[in-house]
Amino acid sequence: MPSFSLAALFQRSRRGRLLQENLTAYAFLAPAGILIFLFGIFPVAFAFFVSLHRWRRFPDAYIGLQNYEKALGNLGYILFFWLALGGLIAAAAASRRLLRALQQTEYKKGALAMLAGGAGGYVALLAIDWFFKLVPAIMLIPRQVRGQNTSLPLFMEKLGESFSQPAVQAAGALLPGALLALALLLWLSLWRFRSGGSAALVSYSAVATVMLIASLFLLQLTITETEAALAEARASGEALPIWSQLVFISGGIALIGIAYRIFQRGIRALDNRRFALMLLGGLALAVGGYLLMAEAPAALAAADDDLLHGFWVTLMYAAGTVPVQLAIGLLLAYLLFQPIRYRGFFRMVYFIPYITPFVATSIVFRIIFDAGRSAPANRLLAIAGIAPQRWILERNSIGELLGLPDFLAGPALALVVIMIYSTWTYIGYDAVIFLAGLGNIPGELYEAARIDGANGWRIFRHITLPLLSPTVFFLSLVAIIGTFQAFTQIWILRTGAVGSKVNTASVYIFDELQNSNRYGYASSMAFVLFALILLMTIFQNRVLGRRVFYG
Amino acid sequence: MAEARTRLNWSRLGIYAVLVAGVIVAIGPFLWMISASFMTLSEVNLTRLLPEKLLWENYATALRRANFLDIELITDPASGRLQALSVSGYIWNSARITLITVSGSLLVCIPAAYAFARMRFLGRDFLFALFLSTMMIPGIVLLIPHLLTVIWLGRLSESLLGPAGAWFNNWPALTIPFFASVFNIFLLRQFFLQIPDDLWEAARIDGAGHLRFLISVVLPLSKAPIMTIVTLGFIGSWNALMWPLLVTINDEWRPIAVGLANFVTADTPGDLNLQMAASVITVIPILVLYFVAQKQFTEGIAQTGIRG
């Protein structure tokens, strides 16, 4: 008699085996999936939700985009218009990909899969809406049960109360039916009437739907909030030129983009056309630049100065560390790549600053760059005959110290110390990655160049550097994002004497969170930072990425 | 010919000069840190290069003053026999946190990476893309939601398990958010993809399922990536500062980076020699690990370009 087990039942049919494989995979994935959802995907929506509220430890009133207005002034609203627009463009791109995939599948099955995906996206958004209606009440539970004897029944009672709020119930009323319909559609499209491209179609369609609805929601939110701000300004008799600023600033940026394209064309064109194109590009650049210069300060007038200063510090920090560390890293890697002895030893030593705890090495730098006359850095200066400096205690900028005019002020000397530290830590890392990149360049190219009579510098310039450009690109991206994330070294190396002179945007946000408990405001600033990083990554990919030569 | 050789030697010499200068810059601060940790305070203040006498007691004082490690033997007063051993301090905390984080991460990431690499299931590519996209979210955006989530989950588990179930200022807040590392999943998946299909075919004919295959064939082959994950995870937990600053309020679970930062910032200008000794103590475990597992470090980072 055959043994009758669940496994045997599964094994009997092809579909049974498929189902078993699927279920095993989901079981394997479940712990990671739950945790990544909880600590990776959900937090983004949650942070955005928090940023729309006045929120000090515990949720307070919904205030729309006011946190963003506080951070960036009118530019906060403008930023949201751009975000919504970007979302719509992304939705259009996703739809195009969807249509292309649809053309390659059997028409009816494809349409079914598309419908299922769209329903999936819609249901996901419904569930998110329902969940975030629930969140404010849920987030109050920890405070409500604190002090009382925290027991499971009490917690569950509070949870039940939050679920039975009218607003939550109204938002969730459709959900069970929608889930059921979705399950049916998914079963039909992915199981009963499955075709080759079904799974891809479902996911494309879901992504397109989510993007479209989310960006429409964002657009609507932005317009309502802008109107509200305008109405408020009108009531108090002020002028609030958000619309004109939106048009002019967007126009200015668009013109600069167009100028860039025209220049690109002009370089390739013939003499006469080249001159005309250059002229046109210059004109576009000038007008765009003028619009930006004229309007951006006004749009930023009401912004948080500390945050703007934080961005400025981040910018100086990036400009002062990234090129230097890449150049030195490349030099060391290139030298290490020559046929020399003890290569392993050198590589090992260069890597040490990067792997040791930043806290500990920052403390050494704190002592080396102390303000005392006998601190190591000042001792070195004394050998060179230079007067001692106050280093980490110096809030004056290097420009001021050198007696340069104001617009050449540059970073505070204290920030320069942090830059030196940062460069010191990352050089070894850059060198190791460059070394790996150098190893990937085929040796025949060098041989061929040598036969053609090229010397060291020309080989480096025309063979090594172009073939290394993907590595340079990668490292510069990592390094720039790293400056946005830098925390430990600033935390240790900043002193009371320099105040906020060395606070990058991230550090300012963290201060705002830890010292003032302004969760809503800190979230909105973090989101602005996120938007900035995202923009920069896209820009780097689009503009610089094109110049990268992939073998 | 002779001329060419001398020129070659000169350029050689130049290369070595630059490389050696690099070595001095790279480890000079370390060497001075070690040297200063043995000095008297006035020697540090005068920036001596070497101490007159090695003050080993700096280390004992630093360990105690910075609350790095405190081992107490609890003996029975009547018989004098050893009853219990109480260990506390930041080193102990960091060791515990690191152990929990790394082992939890392996437990969570290995099956997930295996599923992505070697199984076919609905929505695999979509989920993988979704997971990867979370890697570009900057940490500062996640900080507040993580804090709120951790407080909430902690209250829930407290009502289930009593005070021991707390998350905030306890090990779960410091470890659980880092279990599911997309980076680790990605690293392992890339490795699992390279395992030949023949092995799986053979195992299946022998009646093994996925779990069996994973445990008895894949894992023994994957020592290299697992070592990379362990070393990078170790550095990550040992160095963590921002998140622990936020979720610890006392020394019960506070890790070493926070302890050292507090010790130094509370002690300004302070006993620099002790600060140096405390820094050396913090650095030593990482350096030891680096010298032991250097290959995993450099190659793991060079392959993937990301620090744990």
Give me the residues of A, 381-410, that contact B with CB < 8 A.
none
What is the Cα A116 distance to its own chain's centre? 31
Q: Which residue of B has its CA nearest to A47?
A: B145
Q: Is residue A58 part of a domain?
A: no
Question: A436 CB contacts (<8 Å, ≥6 apart)?
Answer: A471, B302, B303
The angle that helices B124-133 and B90-118 make with each other, rounded to 10 degrees, is 150
Q: What's the confidence (pLDDT) of residue B299?
A: 66
d(CA B225, CA B190): 10
What total of structural domains would you count in chain A?
4
Which of B49, B47, B50, B87 is closest to B70 using CA atoms? B87
A118/A179 same-domain check: yes
Question: A459 CB contacts (<8 Å, ≥6 apart)?
Answer: A446, A449, A450
A506/A388 same-domain check: yes
The verdict on A50 touching B (C-beta cutoff 8 Å) is: yes
A245/A227 same-domain check: no
B120 and A25 within 8 Å at the Cβ level: the answer is yes
A514 and B246 within 8 Å at the Cβ level: the answer is yes
Which of B234, B227, B219, B240 is closest to B102 using CA atoms? B234
Q: Which residue of B has its CA nearest to A345?
A: B23
Domain that holds residue A109: 68-235
The verdict on A436 touching B (C-beta cutoff 8 Å) is: yes
Tell me if B73 sits within 8 A of B85, measured CB to CB. yes
Question: DSSP string of A415-470?
Answer: HHHHHHHHHHHHHHHHHHHHHHHHHTS-HHHHHHHHHTT--HHHHIIIIIHHHHHH
Give me the residues of B, 210-229, that contact A with CB < 8 A.
210-211
Question: DSSP string of A116-153?
Answer: HHHHHHHHHHHHHHHHHHHHHHHHHHHHHHSSS---HH
Q: Up-side HSE of residue A440: CA atoms within 13 Å toward CB?
A: 17
A423/A316 same-domain check: yes
What is the complex's ipTM, to 2 decimals? 0.88
State the fold for domain B88-304: MetI-like fold (1.10.3720)
Residue whose tokens read 């008699």: A1
Name which residue leads in pLDDT, B79 or A344.
A344
- Across the range B63-78, mean pLDDT stands at 81
- Across the range B114-128, mean pLDDT stands at 89
Residue ending a domain, among A302, A331, A346, is: A302
Q: Is the peptide bond before B269 cis (omega within 30 degrees of 0)?
A: yes
The verdict on B246 touching A (C-beta cutoff 8 Å) is: yes
Q: Residue ranges per domain, chain B?
A: 2-83, 88-304
pLDDT band at A419 (very low <50, low <70, confident <90, very high): very high
Residue B257 to chain A, least CA–CA distance (Å): 6
A209/A257 same-domain check: no
**B265-277 per-position pLDDT tens digit:** 886 667 888 999 9
d(CA B26, CA B169): 36
d(CA A508, CA A505): 5
A377/A488 same-domain check: yes
Q: Which residue of A has its CA nearest to B139?
A: A485
Q: What is the pTM of this model?
A: 0.87
Which of A126, A220, A141 is closest to A174 using CA atoms? A126
- Across the range B54-80, mean pLDDT stands at 83
A488 and B131 within 8 Å at the Cβ level: the answer is no
Tell me if A453 sits within 8 A of A446, measured CB to CB. no
A298/A362 same-domain check: no
Residue type, A175: L
A39 and B297 within 8 Å at the Cβ level: the answer is no
What's the mean per-residue pLDDT of chain B?
86
User: What are the two backbone dihedrals, phi and then psi, of residue B135, each rounded to the nearest 5 degrees?
Assistant: -70, -20
- Across the range B290-307, mean pLDDT stands at 68
B36 and A350 within 8 Å at the Cβ level: the answer is no
A125/A265 same-domain check: no
A515/A377 same-domain check: yes
Q: Is residue A62 part of a domain?
A: no
Of the candidates B112, B137, B152, which has its C-beta nearest A139's C-beta?
B152
The verdict on B127 touching A (C-beta cutoff 8 Å) is: yes
Q: Is residue A61 part of a domain?
A: no
A186/A313 same-domain check: no
A510 and B152 within 8 Å at the Cβ level: the answer is no
A324/A407 same-domain check: yes
Residue B295 to chain A, least CA–CA distance (Å): 10
Residue A391 to chain B, least CA–CA distance (Å): 15
Q: Is residue A84 part of a domain?
A: yes
Alpha-carbon distances of A502 from A394, A395, A493, B15, rounded to whole Å: 10, 9, 9, 36
User: What are the two backbone dihedrals, phi and then psi, of residue B236, each rounded to the nearest 5 degrees?
Assistant: -55, -50
Pair type for strands B82-88 and B70-75: antiparallel
**B222-258 per-position pLDDT tens digit:** 888 888 888 888 888 998 899 999 999 888 899 999 9
Residue ending a domain, among A220, A235, A250, is: A235
Which of A350, A364, A353, A374 is closest to B36 using CA atoms? A364
A358/A462 same-domain check: yes
Tell me if B259 sits within 8 A of A489, measured CB to CB. no
Question: A500 CB contacts (<8 Å, ≥6 apart)?
Answer: A306, A309, A310, A508
Instruction: For A128-140, give one letter per residue: b (16+ CB within 10 A) or e.
Output: eebbbbbbbbbbe
Q: Is residue A63 part of a domain?
A: no
The verdict on B160 touching A (C-beta cutoff 8 Å) is: yes
Name which residue leads in pLDDT, A446 or A181.
A181
Residue whose tokens read 């530290």: A421
**A345-374 per-position pLDDT tens digit:** 898 899 889 888 899 999 999 888 988 888
B144 and A376 within 8 Å at the Cβ level: the answer is no
pLDDT over 90 (residue A218): yes
Residue A364 to chain B, least CA–CA distance (Å): 6
Q: Work out how many CB contacts closer than 8 A connect A with B.
A: 293
Q: What is the CATH number of the domain that holds A366?
A: 1.10.3720.10
Of the candidates A43, A346, A352, which has its C-beta nearest B142's C-beta?
A43
Residues in chain A closer than 8 A to B260 (CB atoms): 357, 359-360, 363
Collapsing DSSP to helix, strand or coil, B70 comes out as: strand
